[in-house]
């Protein structure tokens, strides 16, 4: 039972995160779109990524499912 519950939560997290990233990429919403920048030059290696908001949205959805919606399903 624990394994099934974990899989439900993991699937909800992946679906929500991918959905939000997809909306960001499709409609050019910069705070939802995933951007990765890697750069190597004389100063060294530099990388950055942006918009972790969809990841936090996925965690929020899993938290809401665990606390509220799980009682009704």
Q: What is the model's pLDDT at position 56?
A: 94
The reply to whether the predicted model has a pTM over 0.85 is no
Q: How many domains does the chain have?
A: 1
Name the DSSP class of 30.
Answer: T
CA geometry: angle at 63 spanning 22 and 20, to 5°?
Answer: 5
Check if the beta carbon of residue 15 is closer than 8 Å to that of residue 2: no
In this predicted model, what pLDDT tens digit does every residue of 10-67 receive, in sequence order?
A: 999 999 999 999 999 899 888 888 887 888 888 888 777 778 899 999 999 999 999 9
63: domain range? 2-71
Largest separation between any pair of C-alpha atoms in the chain? 58
H-assigned helices in the chain: 2-26, 53-67
């Amino acid at each position: 039972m624990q394994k099934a519950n974990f899989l439900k939560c993991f699937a909800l997290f992946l679906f929500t995160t991918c959905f939000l990233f997809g909306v960001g990429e499709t409609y050019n919403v910069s705070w939802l779109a995933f951007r990765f920048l890697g750069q190597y030059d004389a100063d060294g290696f530099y990388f950055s990524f942006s918009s972790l908001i969809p990841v936090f949205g996925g965690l929020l959805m899993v938290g809401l499912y665990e606390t509220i919606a799980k009682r009704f399903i």
